[in-house]
């Protein structure tokens, strides 16, 4: 095993103790292992509750007996059982029962070995091969053609990208898709509007701005002239029928919008395996979907439209074809899911899309099940809440959504101003400001539960104090500065705590014990699809380091302690750097 997994090792240890306690009798129950309060050790298990009925004893008595069993087994569990060889350091120092709980504390020499392990693994620390690797497709971002990349798409974009990276880090094969909103009746309106009020010069100079202007103008004029509505429908009919002029204009709009979106993706550091998969790619598959729905007896007529009745499932009917025979988003969604399964044979397909689409996905997933596709159970909607400013959904005074490019530019400008005040001599100030500004915007989102609506506050997200990206980036840069001051011969990947290192100071023990959790949190964040779990852990780690550095001498410590503490600093910087990297946030060497 190349990956340190202490929780797995402790779980195995407790399971062995349970087996011995039951005289090798079968026990199929859970082995819960969690982190208790720091004052009570590193790991705790409440397995005694599960054993109580089978053993016929009270949990406290069972916990006491199990602690004794673990005490006889623990000395046999060494570092090499947890992912690295060449050490005989005993992993568990003490085991005790506290009521029905069993508390285990890692040994100080083991923690010193852990520090060396982190520095040896470097950027690979926290990654692991999956015990049961899966193929996982994840759809995120989903920007709309003909519209700016708004802040409304930021949550899907960065949460989806980070979840993809987390799943990849724990050994799964991940396929990243950007499902564009590039088809629908709005394109008939856009074409009609462009034919009347658009200009090639406007499209060349500010393509997305020109398309927005034309679309807004169309709706303004529509309020005066109902005939425009039919013009829009007619152009969309032409587009669906393959009319060359309509198709050429549509492609022009797609190319212009994608070029705009790519600028944002480059700034955010977000990538896809397929950038331009969109609804349009599935328009030729919709007739097959409708035929299959017909064969399954699932289609009904309702006021001239075609629906799938979901009343028995407690859901509104899913509209799959309009009265004018125009295709619908839901029909294309069904086609896309079917084709993706044929293409990827995925074990899971994740849709990182706003919570307002929850009903839509429940309907689509239900219809796929009714169509007989067993893999429909592998579909997950990863919902996110809204952005708010002053408690309201973020919009400009004109009523349009806030453009993401202007947000990132504003964040960078503010970061540059702060850095100029704190470190006016910094050589690469502009580049660092970009890393800090973009990182601040991303972390403000990723540090909060994606299912909740969140507030947008430049001052808070760019603060160098509290739970923010600049705080984490500065802590990491501060550690790099300490290592540079230690001398040119000190390199993070070469530092090693001496064999007899024992971490005498409580602050260094607590910091090392915090580092233990990182691989576990990466795995949990991936499995639960919750980036904020990793962000919270990095914040706790940075706080623990700053307490350590404020109370324990490093550069002025005696020789052996100095080397051990430098190794501890290097390991902390590495974990912060690795964790920020998984969150898609850069970690400057200097700030």
Could you tell me which residues come within 8 angstroms of residue 437 by beta carbon, excluding any fewer than 6 positions away?
Answer: 408, 411, 412, 413, 414, 415, 416, 462
Burial track 304-340 (b if 16+ CB lie within 10 A, e otherwise)? ebbbbebeeeeeebbbbbeeeeebbebbbbbbbbbeb
Tokens at 79, concatenated: 């570092």
Question: Binning pLDDT at 50, 70 and 90, where does residue 86 land?
Answer: very low
Question: Binning pLDDT at 50, 70 and 90, where does residue 391 land?
Answer: low
User: Rounded to whole angstroms, how far apart are CA atoms 183 and 278?
Assistant: 8
- Quick: pLDDT tens for 290-324: 999 999 999 999 998 999 999 999 999 999 998 87
Residues in the chain, how many? 591
User: Rounded to whole angstroms, how far apart are CA atoms 172 and 526?
Assistant: 10
Q: Where are the beta strands (DSSP E) in 79-210?
A: 92-98, 101-106, 135-139, 173-177
User: Rounded to whole angstroms, how far apart are CA atoms 390 and 399?
Assistant: 16
Question: Binning pLDDT at 50, 70 and 90, where does residue 4 land?
Answer: low
Task: Assess contact for 197 and 150: CB atoms under 8 A.
Answer: no
Residue 396: its pLDDT value, please? Answer: 41
- Quick: pLDDT tens for 406-460: 999 999 999 999 999 989 999 899 999 999 999 999 999 999 999 999 988 999 9
Task: Assess contact for 196 and 248: CB atoms under 8 A.
Answer: no
Q: Is the pLDDT at 546 greater than 70, yes or no?
A: yes
Tokens at 506, concatenated: 């409580």
- Quick: pLDDT tens for 468-491: 999 999 999 999 999 999 985 556
- Residues facing residue 349 across a β-bridge: 137, 379
Q: What is the mean pLDDT of residues 533-547?
A: 98
Q: Is the pLDDT at 495 greater than 90, yes or no?
A: no
What stretch of H or E contains 319? strand 318-321
- Quick: pLDDT tens for 166-203: 999 999 999 999 999 999 889 999 999 999 999 989 98
Residue 492: its pLDDT value, please? Answer: 54
Residue 131: its pLDDT value, please? Answer: 86
Burial of 161 (0-12, 13-18, 19+ CB in 10 A): buried
Q: Is the pLDDT at 403 greater than 90, yes or no?
A: no
Task: Assess contact for 357 and 383: CB atoms under 8 A.
Answer: yes
What stretch of H or E contains 162? helix 154-169
What stretch of H or E contains 63? helix 59-73
User: Rounded to whole angstroms, how far apart are CA atoms 549 and 565?
Assistant: 10
Residue 294's Cβ-side half-sphere holds a number of Cα atoms within 13 Å equal to 9
3-state class (DSSP) for residue 532 = helix
User: Rounded to whole angstroms, how far apart are CA atoms 477 and 589?
Assistant: 5
3-state class (DSSP) for residue 473 = helix
3-state class (DSSP) for residue 464 = coil
Q: What is the mean pLDDT of residues 338-363?
A: 97
Please list the helix, strand and coil fractions of the chain in percent, rounded to the nearest 5, in that order.
Answer: 60, 10, 30
Q: Where are the beta strands (DSSP E) in 341-418?
A: 348-354, 379-384, 387-389, 392-393
Pairing of strands 135-139, 348-354: parallel
Q: Kindly report the CATH number that applies to the domain delimited by 6-106.
A: 3.30.1360.70
The phi and psi torsions of 228 (rounded to 5 degrees) equal: -60, -30
Task: Assess contact for 416 and 462: CB atoms under 8 A.
Answer: no
User: Rounded to whole angstroms, how far apart are CA atoms 338 and 447?
Assistant: 34
Residue among 393, 333, 344, 394 nearest 367 (CA): 333
Question: Binning pLDDT at 50, 70 and 90, where does residue 588 land?
Answer: very high
Burial of 357 (0-12, 13-18, 19+ CB in 10 A): middle
Residue 3: its pLDDT value, please? Answer: 55
Structure pTM?
Answer: 0.93
Q: Is the pLDDT at 5 greater than 90, yes or no?
A: no
Residue 502: its pLDDT value, please? Answer: 78
Return the ∠ at Cα 136 (arms to 134 and 139), rounded to 5°.
Answer: 175
Residue 393: its pLDDT value, please? Answer: 66
Q: Is the pLDDT at 88 greater than 70, yes or no?
A: no
Residue among 45, 178, 18 nearest 103 (CA): 45
What ranges do the domains of the chain cover? 6-106, 184-274
Comparing 393 with 78, the larger pLDDT belongs to 393
Residue among 248, 230, 265 nearest 143 (CA): 265
Lowest mean pLDDT among 24-38, 81-95, 364-378: 81-95
3-state class (DSSP) for residue 21 = helix
Residue 79: its pLDDT value, please? Answer: 45
């Amino acid at each position: 095993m190349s990956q340190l997994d202490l929780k797995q090792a402790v779980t195995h240890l407790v399971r062995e103790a349970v087996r011995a306690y039951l005289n090798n009798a079968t026990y199929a129950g859970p082995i819960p292992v969690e982190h208790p309060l720091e004052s009570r050790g590193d790991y705790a298990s409440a397995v005694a509750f599960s054993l109580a009925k089978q053993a016929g004893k009270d949990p406290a008595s069972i916990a006491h007996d199990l602690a004794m069993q673990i005490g006889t087994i623990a000395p046999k569990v060494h570092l090499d059982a947890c992912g690295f060889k060449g050490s005989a350091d005993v992993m568990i120092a003490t085991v005790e029962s506290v009521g029905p709980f069993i508390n285990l504390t890692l040994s100080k020499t083991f923690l010193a070995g852990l520090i060396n392990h982190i520095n040896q693994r470097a950027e690979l620390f926290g990654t692991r091969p999956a015990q049961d690797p899966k193929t996982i497709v994840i759809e995120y971002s989903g920007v709309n053609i003909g519209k700016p990349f708004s802040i409304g798409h930021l949550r899907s974009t960065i949460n989806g990208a980070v979840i993809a990276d987390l799943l990849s880090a724990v050994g799964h094969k991940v396929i990243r898709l950007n499902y564009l909103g590039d088809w629908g009746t709005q394109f008939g309106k856009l074409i009609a509007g462009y034919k009347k009020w658009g200009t090639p010069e406007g499209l060349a100079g500010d393509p997305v701005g020109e398309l927005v202007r034309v679309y807004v103008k169309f709706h303004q004029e529509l309020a005066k002239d109902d005939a425009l509505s039919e013009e829009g429908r007619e152009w969309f009919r032409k587009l669906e029928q393959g009319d060359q002029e309509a198709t050429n204009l549509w492609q022009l709009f797609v190319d212009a919008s994608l070029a705009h979106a790519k600028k944002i993706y480059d700034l955010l550091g977000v990538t896809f395996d397929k950038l331009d998969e969109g609804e349009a790619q599935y328009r030729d598959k919709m007739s097959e979907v409708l035929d299959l729905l017909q064969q399954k007896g699932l289609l009904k007529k309702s006021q001239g439209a075609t629906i799938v009745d979901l009343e028995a499932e407690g859901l509104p009917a899913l509209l799959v074809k309009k009265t004018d025979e125009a295709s619908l988003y839901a029909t294309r969604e069904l086609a896309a899911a079917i084709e993706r399964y044929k293409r990827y044979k995925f074990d899971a397909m994740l849709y990182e899309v706003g919570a307002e689409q929850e009903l839509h996905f429940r309907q689509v997933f239900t219809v796929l099940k009714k169509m007989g596709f067993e893999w429909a159970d592998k579909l997950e909607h990863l919902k996110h809440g809204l952005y708010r400013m002053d408690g309201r959904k973020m919009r400009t005074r004109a009523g349009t959504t806030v453009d993401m490019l202007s947000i990132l530019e504003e964040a960078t400008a503010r970061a540059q101003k702060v850095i100029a005040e704190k470190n006016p001599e910094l050589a690469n100030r502009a580049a660092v400001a970009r890393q800090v500004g973009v990182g601040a915007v991303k972390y403000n989102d990723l540090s909060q539960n994606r299912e909740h609506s969140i507030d947008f506050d430049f001052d808070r997200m760019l603060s160098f104090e509290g739970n923010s990206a600049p705080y984490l980036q500065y802590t990491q840069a501060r550690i790099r500065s300490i290592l540079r001051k230690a001398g040119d011969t000190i390199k993070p990947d070469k530092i090693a705590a001496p064999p007899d290192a024992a971490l005498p100071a409580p602050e260094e023990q607590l910091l090392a014990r915090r580092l233990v959790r990182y691989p576990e949190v990466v795995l949990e964040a991936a499995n639960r699809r919750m980036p904020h779990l990793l962000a919270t852990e990095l914040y706790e780690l940075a706080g623990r380091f700053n307490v350590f550095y404020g109370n324990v001498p490093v550069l002025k410590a005696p020789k052996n302690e100095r080397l051990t503490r430098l190794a501890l600093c290097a390991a902390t910087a590495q974990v912060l750097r690795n964790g920020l990297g998984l969150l898609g946030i850069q970690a400057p060497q200097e700030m």
